Structure 1
Amino acid sequence: MRGAPGDGLALEVRNRLPVGQVAPTLPGAGTGLVGLRERVTLAGGEITHGPDGDDFVVRARLRWER
């Protein structure tokens, strides 16, 4: 996370992609990334997500007014 008033706020979260067989996931609504996109968009920001090498990466940029 980095940023400053007037420059915006940049966030990046990385998680290692699973290797081999993936264990069953915990139950949930299945709308995690969709929900993040909705909230970031409502705040006037941008979000991207997807594989990056051996990691899954979520990057977001939000406005931060002075």
Structure 2
Amino acid sequence: MDLDKSFEKLKERLSDDSAHLFSPHPYRSFCPLMAPETEQQRRRKMLVEMEHQRKEKGRRKKRSRI
């Protein structure tokens, strides 16, 4: 069975309201799963990353003292 046929069957099985999540639609950015991250999410990710680096640095210092 080729991919297109199986894809069509899958779409038929899904209800109409969730089918748009799987359709190759040009306005996919409106889909919540494909939405680009917001400024707040980006900032939070950066803060988490900085915190992680700070902890790693502290661990390295503690290891070097031993």
Please say which structure displays the higher CA radius of gyration: 2
TM-score under structure 2 normalisation? 0.26
Which protein is richer in helix relative to its size? Answer: 2
With normalisation by structure 1, the TM-score equals 0.26
